[in-house]
A = this chain, B = another copy of it.
Amino acid sequence: MAVYTEISDDDLTAFVAAYDIGEALSCKGIAEGVENSNFLLVTDQASFILTLYEKRVDPDDLPFFLGLTEHLSQHGVPCPVPVRANDGDVLRSLSGRPAAIMTFLNGMWPKRIDNHHCAELGRAMAKMHLAGADFKLTRPNALSVRGWRPLLDACEGRGEEVQAGITDALTQELDALEQGWPTDLPCGVIHADLFPDNVFFRGEHLSGLIDFYFACNDLFAYDVAICLNAWCFERHGDFNATKARKLLAAYRKVRDFSKEEMEALPLLARGAAMRFLLTRLYDWLNTPEGALVTPKDPLEYLKKLRFHQAVTGPGAYGLD
């Protein structure tokens, strides 16, 4: 939950007047998202999401993020798209921050994951991977394999405060990941953060994807691996192979998933676990007491990492 920046009435009125979206009737901070300040803006024409980009987002990346959702939407992927101001711009300034108005996406994210959610997710992710093919801008993934060792180093051995021995264990795992990380698998635009709270459903059906602020160019199969971790473990930590099979089977109906991608999946899933383990560990150790955001438990991802380390092949994910 996070609203970091307050907007004055006069500033809001002037900001909204730069768009052809009618008069602002209401603007309420939303208790979701941890990177930016999000507001539900209701005008006499429609509802919108107003986002103020806080310091964790690099302003130079915003044209990629905003352009990508526009591109994906034009290619049939349901997602919020930036509204153009009267001068044609999608990115403006409000309360001293870069700001954008996005269309409102109906739907709610699933609090309890069922098998059908995983199938819908697999299908939508594959469509997104295909739809991003001819997007012109690129953005490297700063949180891929080369970014992990600096993150572990930044924890300065303090991981021991969370679990004894974790620093050595992660160092060893990083050696293996850096050595074995595949470089010749199919690449393109990936979402890189497709957790349940970024996937909306209306009834049984997926209604759209949100929050593309980690999107980047990387291995498609790595995006799949992130989702295996985020969607296919039960609350108590067990891996649910039926959900994984549903996800992968639905994905493969839309986009070819090569033998090489399948075989790389256990290693990619270890990497995906490492990535979220490290950012959570860093945040855990560096969140000031009294902060508005409760840091997420890094050990959840240590358990997921251990699971994938013990896997002998893609069959563990319910694949044939």
Q: Please, which residues of chain B bring their CB within 8 A of the CB of A7?
A: 111
Q: How far is the CB of A195 from chain B (nearest CB, A)?
A: 15
A8–B108 CB distance below 8 A = no
Number of copies: 2
Contact A108 B12 (CB under 8 A): yes
In this complex, how many residues of chain A approach chain B with their Cβ under 8 Å: the count is 36
The answer to whether the Cβ of A309 comes within 8 Å of any Cβ in the partner chain is no
Whether B26 lies near A112 (C-beta < 8 A) is: no
Prevailing SS type, chain A contact patch:
loop
Residues of B within 8 A of A292 (CB): 1, 292, 294
Contact of A6 (CB < 8 Å), options: B26, B42, B110, B111: B111
- Check A3 for interface membership: any CB of B closer than 8 A: yes
CB distance from A27 to the nearest CB of B (A): 6
**What is the 8 Å Cβ interface bit string for chain A, positions 204-228, against chain B (1 contact, 0 not)?**
0000000000000000000000000
Interface residues of A in 55-96 (CB under 8 A from B): none
- List CB contacts (< 8 Å) of A270-320 with chain B: 289-292, 294
Q: Which residues of A contact B (CB under 8 A)?
A: 1-3, 6-10, 12, 24-32, 40, 42, 47, 104-108, 110-112, 201-202, 289-292, 294
